[in-house]
A and B are shown apart, each in its own frame.
Chain A
């Protein structure tokens, strides 16, 4: 499958990766973009209702993407096995989403349309997403809202009883549906209830506190998983006609992120090691308005809604000497409202990546505020004094009260009196397993949905569109595309002791035993934190060639040390949270390297990926469409043991823009 190429134009690549055959086909139907989805649904084979019971699907994950798919396939009559590592499906990380969900309903008659949502998403993704998938996302978005309302999701309403919308993330139309600051929670509860209804009906079998640790591939097809029962420690084999990964994003490779503590890459990474391509792993979204790190003990970061930037003004002191002062004592003329200064047209509302990077520059320049963490102050002010003077405190309270309370609870400071401090944090990963138009990976029978795949957000995701994607995939897209695959089944019965199963089981058992046997000096968390520091420093908001090469070296030696020196206590046959974490961190230690290699090879800046070598004269991101207008789909190249990786193989999927014209972003 691979042609080895000795070097990329700049000569760096040869040491790190090889170039393989391009991705030939994304399986999208021919014809105009607006007709493709209808065509595909029509072309997909049907499965006789009486046969559906005999066809089984494993779904890993019960977030928006997994719970919606599980409920829908269960309702259709397939036999579904659903897995999550939490104690109930309702706790998946989707629950934490605050802001809202987009849909092209045009209820406000403000000129919204499927095409506009499609256009905004492609542009927001900095022209690095696949047109056909994004168009379909916009197309099915309206149905999502209908489905959720029918389930009883309590979206915000106006006095007339109609649904309310807001504008979100800098777009000019109001297309975001929301449920106070708890949209993710309410949408997930809706999907969870639909899933529980199918569990009661017997179509869905639920496995909570179970973790998928291996994918079973037989005869080139995905046929099942190996999972560990996290309570008893038992290693279980689950077989099916198809496997769906809806296992979420991998932002926790940075240790600190806004993701839930348990969010991890293991399901995806294990599939990658079995041959599934990992696409654009370096595309990471760093969100500008998070509560800063308060010390070394920090276990996670908390996001505050982006809506705060609508009324808050962001600044740092002009002089380093003022950074320790009480901000209220710093007079107006000594403050630098840097976003308003640099981007007079958009001011504090510039896109997430720009706001984040500028905050970093200010702190790197020694003008950060708040406590010293290490030898740095990592924070900038988000000041509501003007808004309170202009609108009055009650109005500010009505709009942002819950966010101010959250801030006060976490920091112990009163944001009505002193300006808040914010700092960027890792929030979302646009990269993920490569999928085609049907959401199928390159391994037949393995489908990937939600944040776990790469398909819709290009190099940067717009606010309120991850919830939309998760539910679009699970309620409307996957059930139609997987049907075409299942219609060719049932696939030959697989024996529980066939070589493919035995090999996968042995892998899991050996790895577990090995982790417990090392009995070294360092805790799992200490490795995870160190990896996080490396990733944040060299593969975070700004990336350089030398930095990335250094990071790869550091990660390789850290990974080697992990397998020599980690200490995991306890046994394999009980609830053992250190063991769970150890397996996840071991996979992050491999993923981190791939992310750096991907970032190194992409010598352009696009969306959340900023390569310092590729910027305009005034310091803005510079894309190179002539060289990089493609999806980087990486094939795992093996290695002889745990923790060893060969040079991955790059398969390029050229991006073809037919409906939208390519442009450079500009916010000046």
Chain B
């Protein structure tokens, strides 16, 4: 396949960026999207030009490190992560625009690499269960009904990639946060801190430059793990109950 790529290049956090056009030839449909960028980078290096910086690690769709805006869609046209997208999803001769996640809360570091540490700060605020090592009761002492365990699991699948924020017109982090609130809130172990958790997380989220949620649903649509929109309902319900002291 032959493709035209328009890639966001930006030397550093404060530098001005621009879209630069590159042609790539002889791309195999069996390549992953990131392998296609590897091929481009090898060529740039050979030409004495600096390679395009982008993040990836597991390349298996589980670590959440990768994430590109591909022709305007977070993680591209398929419901998967950027690293699991393959070139057979594109047409020969196509022009592909490749940009970093765009959100105030995710400042650009270089080229396609952004800083998502705001997500860690949200977890620091309350995305945990306070149990010190060694103080846990026997695992079978806590029974979890299967429906709760299953819903907790679905929410726990979030990989923290940030596509939900990138896809949201408000750059809101509600899906990410709702996933954690739901994961821990469905479990008996998560009850004692439930009210504190949701309030602290939301306060941190709002302070980090994420926007509010207006129920558009782009987040869930873009989410490679299919985190359902109803985790945001759970989050809102928890927040209401926490504020009115009804937990």
B-side contacts of A192, CB under 8 Å: 123
**Assembled-state Cα–Cα distance A570/B35 (Å):** 21
Name the CB-closest residue of B to A150: B136
A-B contact count (CB 8 A): 207
Interface membership of B95, Cβ < 8 A = no
Interface pair B62/A161, CB less than 8 Å apart: no
Interface membership of A199, Cβ < 8 A = yes
| Residue of B31, B58, B110, B145 contacting most chain A CB atoms (<10 Å) | B58
Interface membership of A507, Cβ < 8 A = no
1/0 contact trace for A89-133 toward B, CB 8 Å?
111010110000000010100000000000000000000000000
**Assembled-state Cα–Cα distance A646/B84 (Å):** 43
Interface pair B190/A152, CB less than 8 Å apart: yes
A-side contacts of B153, CB under 8 Å: 154, 179-180
Chain B residue total in the interface (Cβ 8 A):
76
Interface pair A297/B39, CB less than 8 Å apart: yes
Tell me whether A260 and B63 are in contact in the complex, defined as CB-CB below 8 angstroms, given that A147-B131, A154-B183 are known contacts. yes
Interface pair A260/B59, CB less than 8 Å apart: yes
Interface pair B136/A152, CB less than 8 Å apart: no
A-side contacts of B64, CB under 8 Å: 90-91
User: Which residues A446-493 have CB closer than 8 A to chain B?
Assistant: 475-476, 479
B-side contacts of A157, CB under 8 Å: 144, 146, 149
**Assembled-state Cα–Cα distance A412/B32 (Å):** 11
Contact of A162 among B48, B140, B190 (CB under 8 A): B140
User: Which residues B27-53 have CB closer than 8 A to chain A?
Assistant: 28-32, 34-36, 38-39, 42, 45-46, 48-51, 53
**Assembled-state Cα–Cα distance A295/B119 (Å):** 37
Interface membership of B152, Cβ < 8 A = yes
Interface membership of B240, Cβ < 8 A = no
**Assembled-state Cα–Cα distance A162/B130 (Å):** 22
User: Which residues B116-152 have CB closer than 8 A to chain A?
Assistant: 116-117, 119-120, 123-125, 127-140, 142-146, 149, 152
**Assembled-state Cα–Cα distance A87/B144 (Å):** 33
Output the least CB separation between B140 and chain A (Å): 6
Excluding A159-B146, A189-B156, 6 further A-B contacts by CB distance (< 8 Å) are A151-B128, A151-B129, A154-B183, A262-B57, A410-B86, A569-B50
Interface residues of B (CB under 8 A from A): 11-12, 28-32, 34-36, 38-39, 42, 45-46, 48-51, 53, 55-60, 62-65, 80, 84, 86, 88, 109-110, 113, 115-117, 119-120, 123-125, 127-140, 142-146, 149, 152-153, 156-157, 159-160, 183-184, 187, 189-190
Tell me whether A193 and B139 are in contact in the complex, defined as CB-CB below 8 angstroms, given that A161-B145, A231-B109 are known contacts. no
A-side contacts of B38, CB under 8 Å: 297, 299, 525
A-side contacts of B46, CB under 8 Å: 523
Interface pair B50/A88, CB less than 8 Å apart: no
Of A12-20, A211-219, A235-243, A574-582, the stretch lying at the interface with chain B is: A574-582
A-side contacts of B115, CB under 8 Å: 87
B-side contacts of A298, CB under 8 Å: 35
Interface membership of A75, Cβ < 8 A = yes
Interface pair B133/A412, CB less than 8 Å apart: no
Interface pair A88/B120, CB less than 8 Å apart: yes
B-side contacts of A411, CB under 8 Å: 30
**Assembled-state Cα–Cα distance A295/B132 (Å):** 48
Interface pair B129/A154, CB less than 8 Å apart: no
Name the CB-closest residue of A to B133: A72
Interface membership of A6, Cβ < 8 A = no
